[in-house]
Amino acid sequence: MSKLPQLTINGLAQAVQLSERVHWIGALDPSLRTFDIILKTANGTTYNAYVVRGSEGIAVIDTVKEGFSSDFFARLESVARYDEIKVIVLNHLEPDHTGALPELMRRAPQARVYISQKAQSMLKALLKQDEFDYTPVMTGDQVSLGDRSLAFFHTPYLHWPDTQCTYLVEEQTLFSGDVFGCHFCDVRLFNDEVGDFRFSFEYYYAHIMRPFKDYVNRALALLEPLPLTTILPAHGPLLRDQPKKYVQRYRELSSAVLQSEISTGEKTLLIFYISSYGNTRRMAEAIYEGAMEVEHVRVSLYDLEGSEITPFVDLIEGADGIIFGTPTINGDAVKPVWDLLSSLAVINLKSKLGGVFGSYGWTGEGVKMVEDRLRGLKLRVPIPGIRIKLIPTDEEIESCREFGQNLAQDLLGLRQPRVIDMADLA
């Protein structure tokens, strides 16, 4: 049976040795059930922080959430004196990693703080002061601790603009911040000792990193060439067994779009609708027919009643254009449409084409509401939504067909950009 890391002695928190010169000085938060409002944490989380001892001084890498400061300082004091601390590295300034920073700076005033260049304004806001010493760093910068050195890799938007990773060159160890982390609390700490955390790892990626896939790929281009014996993330298990496996998994997840039969040069257009009396469905079918008349656009039609949301989110991530059809009920678009829209925050929608249509009985606000939401999600909505009162006439069906055709042509860049009169949007 494996030996548990000794986290306390006589009730006092202790550092956990990871190598001759590296210790874990983080904190466990097993009771947490929701993180940042949106993330579920079924068995809590950890706030991982580390100490690196070099021949000419000590570096502290990240701190913990404020309420866990006493464990952090007790662990730090078990392996270092404050006057030995030369360097404080913050890979990311979110409060779960900087809660103990102001007090650490008070206790080790000689230590220099190293942050990414993008973190400067955040640090000032966090400390509520403008004048203090720190060193902004970028990819390629290093700091020496004598016989140990730390190299910095700027990895923006994983998942804040400020995020960076720090590499302990002599031990091939990556302090990765939130990257490769997950919310999983287990006193056994190491990935080859803890319970099965695959679900947490994937869930964390899906909610925290997936919206920034392009940035994940850019970060991987920096990190993949590094020799790695260990990855030490800011949350969850410490990845000492097969660390490259987690890098590879990020590569797979950030590359994945649904396999499709779409040939190069073709665009994909998805039409989602829901219909109470069949009127919005008739509009959807006419839009579908109109769009299909345009060559090199692959059009698909989906009734929102026919599927769970997750497969639709995956489809939308890989699509070039998305059109939503909603009736207006009680002055609003209907819940299945809002449910799908609210699930799209985890993917990058910027510059995808959007469109909206729907039938209504009295007022028809739903179409405009969804249109506003699409613009808020950074979709391009080149043609105002189309609304039809109750049962569409033949003429109105024809206008739907044209709407679909125009949007499909727009996807291919075949329509002139249209100047929208603000009055049309009122």
Stretch that binds ligand FEO, among 93-101, 143-151, 341-349, 397-405 (CB under 6 A): 93-101
**Residue 185 or 315 having the CB closest to ligand FEO:** 185
Tokens of 18: 């990871």
Residue 213 φ/ψ, nearest 5 degrees: -55, -40
Which residue in the set 21, 23, 75, 97 belongs to the binding site for ligand FEO (CB under 6 A)? Answer: 97
Shortest Cβ 235–ligand FEO spacing (Å): 6
DSSP secondary structure letter of residue 84:
G
Shortest Cβ 129–ligand FEO spacing (Å): 22
Residue 367 binds ligand FEO (CB under 6 A): no
Residue 234 binds ligand FEO (CB under 6 A): yes
Residue 92 binds ligand FEO (CB under 6 A): yes
Per DSSP bridges, beta strands 149-154 and 164-168 are antiparallel
Distance CA 403, CA 274 (A): 18
Distance CA 261, CA 104 (A): 56
Question: Considering just the CA atoms, what is the radius of gyration of the chain in Å?
Answer: 26
**Residue 29 or 94 having the CB closest to ligand FEO:** 94
Neighbours of 41 (CB within 10 A): 22
Shortest Cβ 262–ligand FEO spacing (Å): 35
Residue 210 binds ligand FEO (CB under 6 A): no
Q: Using DSSP, state whether 249 is helix, strand or coil.
A: helix
Which residue in the set 235, 282, 368, 387 belongs to the binding site for ligand FEO (CB under 6 A)? Answer: 235
Question: Binding mask 310-339 vs ligand FEO (x if CB under 6 A, - otherwise)?
Answer: ------------------------------
Tokens of 139: 């990819």
**Residue 204 or 273 having the CB closest to ligand FEO:** 204
Residue nearest to ligand FEO (CB): 94
Stretch that binds ligand FEO, among 89-97, 246-254, 258-266, 293-301 (CB under 6 A): 89-97
Shortest Cβ 116–ligand FEO spacing (Å): 13
Shortest Cβ 97–ligand FEO spacing (Å): 6
Residues ≥6 apart with Cβ < 8 Å to 68? 27, 29, 47, 99, 100
CB neighbour burial string for 213-241, b if at least 16 within 10 angstroms, e if fewer: bebbebbbeebeebebebbbbbbbbbbbe
DSSP secondary structure letter of residue 393:
P
Residue 65 binds ligand FEO (CB under 6 A): no
Shortest Cβ 29–ligand FEO spacing (Å): 11
Per DSSP bridges, beta strands 142-144 and 149-154 are antiparallel
Residue 371 binds ligand FEO (CB under 6 A): no
Segment holding 309, helix H or strand E: helix 309-318
Task: Name the residue among 149, 145, 123, 148 with its Cα closest to residue 135.
Answer: 123
Shortest Cβ 35–ligand FEO spacing (Å): 8
Distance CA 227, CA 171 (A): 9
Residue 96 binds ligand FEO (CB under 6 A): yes
Which residues within the stretch 149-188 sit at the binding site for ligand FEO (CB under 6 A)?
A: 159, 178
Shortest Cβ 96–ligand FEO spacing (Å): 4
Residue 381 φ/ψ, nearest 5 degrees: -115, 90
For ligand FEO, the binding residues (CB under 6 A) are: 92, 94, 96-97, 159, 178, 234-235
